[in-house]
């Protein structure tokens, strides 16, 4: 994606507009965390440097994806799960790449957080988004990532997830409500099935406007996608 989306328009003929960003993610996906950080840094650069972009508004939509539907895998650390997936002979190379790439966007992976089924964490973040809006939802998702990937959090730890939400102003009672709400749980399951029916088979996947981004692009790649989405919108409006 790099260097593909150079602007051909001046600041005077680019009007501000609402940027819709759709994010397909799982809370045990390290590349989703990296992609989220890369996008945030790209947005900051884009709004400071691209003509007219500082007046654009952003709106996120987060959609759940289940990487792991095997509840029997709960208890494996990220390191152990990576070894099972990639083989013992390859796991150190995989983790070194994650560690190196994470550091470039300010993430310090520790690989000791326990993995497992992520329905509980998705129910929490989806319920928060439904009631509190995407900005609070985004903050909670980022906090879940940080807790799990950098501080050894167990993604299936109910009390731990409630504590994570409390760090961004969600009361314990609210956190419990969304985790325990059967309607929220069913809706998360429905959405996770729906995204696969739509052809999403890996995460992170993002749509910035009509521009699809597969995988965790670096900051430059995310910046170019933002520019492409804005220029496509300018042409059609």
Residues 6+ apart with CB under 8 A from 229: 19, 208, 209, 210, 211
Q: Which residue would you say has higher pLDDT here, 73 or 153?
A: 153
Q: Decide which of 3.80.10.10, 3.40.50.300, 3.30.450.260, 3.40.30.10 is the CATH code for 19-232.
A: 3.40.30.10
Determine whether 43 is exposed, middle or buried from the number of CB atoms within 10 Å of its CB (0-12, 13-18, 19+): buried
Question: What is the domain partition of the chain in residue ranges?
Answer: 19-232
Contact criterion met (CB below 8 Å) for 131 and 90? no
pTM metric for this prediction: 0.91
pLDDT, residue 117, reads 93
pLDDT, residue 18, reads 85
Q: pLDDT tens across 62-102, in order?
A: 999 999 876 556 789 999 999 998 998 999 999 999 999 99
Q: List the structure tokens of 116.
A: 């497992």
CA pair distance 177, 225, nearest whole angstrom:
37
CA pair distance 165, 32, nearest whole angstrom:
19
pLDDT, residue 12, reads 38
CA pair distance 173, 156, nearest whole angstrom:
18
For residue 134, is pLDDT > 80?
yes
Contact criterion met (CB below 8 Å) for 219 and 210? no
Strand partners of residue 62: 23
């Amino acid at each position: 994606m790099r260097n593909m989306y150079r602007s051909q328009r001046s600041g005077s003929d680019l009007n501000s507009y609402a940027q819709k960003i759709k994010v397909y993610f799982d809370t045990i996906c390290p590349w989703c965390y990296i992609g989220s950080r890369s996008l945030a840094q790209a947005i900051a650069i884009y709004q400071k440097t691209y003509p007219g972009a500082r007046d654009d508004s952003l709106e996120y939509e987060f959609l759940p994806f289940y990487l792991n539907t095997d509840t029997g895998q709960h208890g494996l650390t990220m390191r152990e799960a990576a070894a099972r997936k990639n083989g013992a002979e390859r796991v150190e190379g995989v983790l070194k790449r994650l560690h190196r790439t994470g550091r470039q966007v300010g993430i310090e992976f520790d690989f000791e957080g326990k993995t497992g089924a992520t329905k509980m964490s998705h129910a929490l973040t989806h319920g928060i988004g439904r009631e509190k809006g995407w900005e609070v939802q985004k903050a909670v998702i980022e906090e879940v990532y940080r807790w799990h990937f950098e501080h050894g959090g167990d993604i299936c730890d109910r009390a731990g997830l409630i504590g994570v939400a409390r760090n961004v102003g969600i009361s314990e009672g609210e956190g419990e409500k969304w985790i325990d709400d059967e309607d929220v749980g069913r809706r998360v399951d429905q959405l996770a099935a729906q995204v696969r029916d739509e052809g999403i088979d890996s995460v992170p996947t993002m749509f910035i406007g009509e521009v699809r981004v597969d995988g965790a692009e670096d900051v430059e790649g995310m910046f170019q996608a933002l520019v492409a989405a804005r220029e496509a919108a300018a042409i059609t409006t």
